[in-house]
Chains A and B, each alone.
Chain A
Amino acid sequence: MMTTLPIFIREQSVSRLLPWKLQIEAAERFGVPLAQVEEAALERGILPARYQRNRTTMTVGDQLTLFRSCVAVIGCGGLGGYVIEELARLGVGTLVVIDPDVFEEHNLNRQLLSSPAELGSPKVAAAVRRVGDINPAVTVVPHQAAFSPANGSELLADCTLAVDALDNIAVRLELAETCRQLGIPLVHGAIAGWYGHVTTQFPGDTVLQKMYASRSGEKGIEQQLGNPSFTPAVVASLQVAEVCKLLLKQGTPLRGRKLLIDLLSMEFHELSLNEEDGGIP
């Protein structure tokens, strides 16, 4: 009998784990992408061995759900770099990454995808290279473009949810509106200096709109404070935990709640937001 990809995976897996070396071998032997081998394994309850420490936080079925998910990351700077890194390592199958910019020297203190060698490179191209290095089974769809109401629906069309890693308040509000139109959740994060906040907005919620209602500009106090290396890492990690829960329909998201982070005082405050404040209708 001719060996097929599923038979190969079943025969070669060890304790229901498929080692990376064999995942590559299967892809070469059957002339298919690594992603296809990954899906075929997960469908048969076999975990690519790279995810073995995800167990038992998530089941093989959960890992398949993550693999079949598509998440948009809007902004590939401080927050976005860490968000992309963590989603790729988690095993989210498709990442749509959006950013118009190239790396500049002032990005180097905090943006994970930046390095001296990447100065002048588009941030989305660096995202493709980085994910290719750390988890080539993940598909990255890069868009070197500024998110706007004009292109938003098209860019996010296939996405399960969106992660706000933007650095501009007006565009954040446009992203919130696009997510509402598409009926997908939005995981918001923003940072400045030692401070940050995170919230998750479902279609119909208006927490972001309420939160930024009193603003007068496009930027906050990050203009004076800048952003050190650790604040984006903290806030991005909280955002990815939210994404993971939403994709797996587990736990309790920060819906109708806003987490305020003060790393200088090391205080975490939670604001409960009712319907009038944009929370759960």
Chain B
Amino acid sequence: MSTAGRRILLGAIVVYLILPLVAVFLYSVATVWQSRILPDGYTLEHYVAVAVDPRVQGAVLRSLALAVLVTLIDIAIVVPAVFWARVRNPRIRPIIEVGAAIPFALPWVVIAFGIDRLVGEWAPSWQTTFPVLVLAQSAIAFPFFYWAVDGAMAATGIARLTEAAETCGARPIQILRRIVLPIIRTGVATGTVLVFAVSFGEFALARILVGSSYDTLPLWQAQALLRTDDQLNELAVTTVLSFLVLFALAAWLVARGRSSGASLAAGAQVGTPTEAPR
């Protein structure tokens, strides 16, 4: 490819990728924006409006609670399972692999519908409740955590280290503190960021499982966008803020030296050559 062609291609990509971010940001600080390429005036009043709007507050708090709970649950269920699969019982691994393939392959609308069906059949009083949303989100987000933590364990040969420690007479609690936790720290950091980001912004699951019983942030955003009661500036503000949170988390990861594709792409790469021969 010629140098000029390369410049044009990359330049066009940058504009395409940056433009929406710029537009949303300008929208969040615009007074009126009806006729010219840039807003007629600038203001911060939408940020204030968002901060004092009780519906937005509720939605943000619920999304935060959801993301935090899901992250904690996924840490609690994935770390022991993966550790045990690597160190004690390799037959656990294929089960986790199948489980991790499901949210990767199936559209989340479909999984959400399936969960909703089951809950409606077996425990109708739980339908649309927050705990069901938390559990469903934990199930869907666990592969991100699994890939991150498993990668960290594989890279360090945790099975051999644990074995060596046992041979030296280390007690389980010592093994946990001195070997397992230091090894998986990077993986847990990556997994936490991914799971948090995915859970905070998830729309499909919340829409199918919760409907209109209460708001998470994406549910509120969807309503603000599609209803015409002029909350578009507030919508822009929440988009900018949640983007900044996501950006800060990603930057933190990169600063830690783990700049791999922090997205679903991380899962696909399990199958790609970097780690492929399984």
Pair from one complex = no
Interface of A toward B, CB cutoff 8 Å: none
